Amino acid sequence: DTGVSQDPRHKITKRGQNVTFRCDPISEHNRLYWYRQTLGQGPEFLTYFQNEAQLEKSRLLSDRFSAERPKGSFSTLEIQRTEQGDSAMYLCASSLVQGGNEKLFFGSGTQLSVL
Amino acid sequence: GDSVTQMEGPVTLSEEAFLTINCTYTATGYPSLFWYVQYPGEGLQLLLKATKADDKGSNKGFEATYRKETTSFHLEKGSVQVSDSAVYFCAPKAAGNKLTFGGGTRVLVKP
């Protein structure tokens, strides 16, 4: 169990550019979540997957944001035409749901800075 | 939708002091309740949880009791250590399977 990995740890980009983040969950975890956290705030839910199916998306997830989990393992989060307001820490979490119990394990996040 | 109100920080304490962080929530249905902690330079990690009314979650000397009548889940520790310095997040988990986090409370424990 190596934990949830996120890549890159930091990303600096210019406004208008596209960026993609990757999340590798704990092996065999069937759920994967994306959250966004701005400085001094709690994480805000963006979306989650059950295996490869995307089951819920927040209204925060505008049409510039897209997430995939093609094989039910790793996931990517893409932001197109980035804006300065997209600057935040993007967190990934995974869990194994068994018998109604669920414990989320979070990665260290990808810090995005849009200049 | 679900929402959480937790006391704003920073909370500055001396070692061995008593710590309370208030948390109240609104949620549909009957949520499970969680406290997560974020130590400096580390990712979020689960501190404790409670899944039904009057349950008490506990871990590392921290406790929180699920109070359905007051929709609260206050976090307490009787004697804090410098190593407890961190940001603490209250989070109910109700309909929709997602955690809803509060704004976080930064705690600084001085020796």
Cα three-residue angle B102-B97-A95, rounded to 5 degrees: 95
Does the pLDDT of residue A92 top 80, yes or no?
yes
How far is the C-alpha of A89 from the C-alpha of A110, rounded, in Å? 6
Q: Is the pLDDT of residue B107 over 60?
A: yes
Question: B13 pairs with which residues across the strands?
Answer: B109
pLDDT in tens, B14-62: 999 999 999 999 887 789 999 999 998 888 999 999 998 999 999 999 9
For residue A101, give the chain B residue with the closest CA: B51
Which of B100, B63, B82, B106 has its CA nearest to residue A35?
Answer: B100
Question: What end-to-end distance do the CA atoms of chain A give, in Å?
Answer: 36
Look at residues B69, B75, B61 and name the one whose alpha carbon lies nearest to residue B105. Answer: B75
Q: Is B31 on the interface with A (CB under 8 A)?
A: no
Cα of A80 to nearest chain B Cα, Å = 25
Asked if residue B107 lies in contact with residue B88, where contact means CB atoms within 8 angstroms, the answer is: yes
CA distances to A3, A55, A67, A89 from A10, rounded to whole Å, are 18, 28, 19, 9
Cβ contact B91:B35 at 8 Å: yes
- The stretch B86-97 carries a mean pLDDT of 86
Confidence (pLDDT) at B95: 61
pLDDT at B77: 98
- State pLDDT tens for residues A15-74: 999 999 999 999 989 999 999 999 889 999 999 999 999 998 998 788 999 999 998 899
| Chain A residues whose beta carbon lies within 8 Å of the beta carbon of residue B52 | none
* B37, B44, B100, best to mutate vs chain A, most A CBs in 10 Å: B44
